[in-house]
Amino acid sequence: MSMYITVFLRIMLLLSLAVMVFDYLRVEQLYIQMDRGFIDGFEVFITRWPGFIFIIIVILFVIINTIQFILVRKNKHSILNAFLAVEYDVSDERAVQITHKAVSNAFVFILVYSFFIVGSYMFIPNYFVDYIWYPLFTTVSIPVVGLLTYLISFKVLQHK
């Protein structure tokens, strides 16, 4: 269950950061459009909820990691160094092999996925001015897809 929480928090952290960056890039986009004469003026409205979500998730992440650290430290049979990789399940003796296979699967999927995502940028002409959301959110989707691939691979391999 802690792996689901950890992956979910990391995904939410990435998404909230992307939305905060999107607001900044949107203002830059409007300045460029105004400079080029596409628009006469604009109003700026920065949403605050992504920042609040980001702060809440960071606090939750720290609290959960502290609790996990205390639980791992109490277990005399666990390897404390294994705690550095939060996805590593110290209660399962096959965890090293499962983690290795799951990381390999996620890495391969990230390489293939990122090749197509970055390659798709050439089909969007002048994407910074017109389609600012596309490169930002597709780039953020790369680690999100990697985390989900890792989670699914780990859980499938763990139940074999």
In this prediction, residue 83 carries a pLDDT of: 56
Across the range 115-138, mean pLDDT stands at 79
Scanning the structure block, which residue is given the tokens 């197509």?
116
Provide the 8-state DSSP code for 36: T
Query: pTM of this prediction?
Result: 0.74
Rounded Cα distance, 132 and 84, in Å: 36
| Helix locations, 44-132, DSSP H | 49-74, 95-120, 127-130
Residues in the chain, how many? 160
Whether the predicted pLDDT of 2 surpasses 60:
yes
Structural contact between residues 98 and 157, judged by C-beta atoms closer than 8 angstroms: yes
Stretch (H or E) spanning 1: none
Percent above pLDDT 90 for the chain: 18
Most confident of 8-17, 69-78, 107-116: 107-116
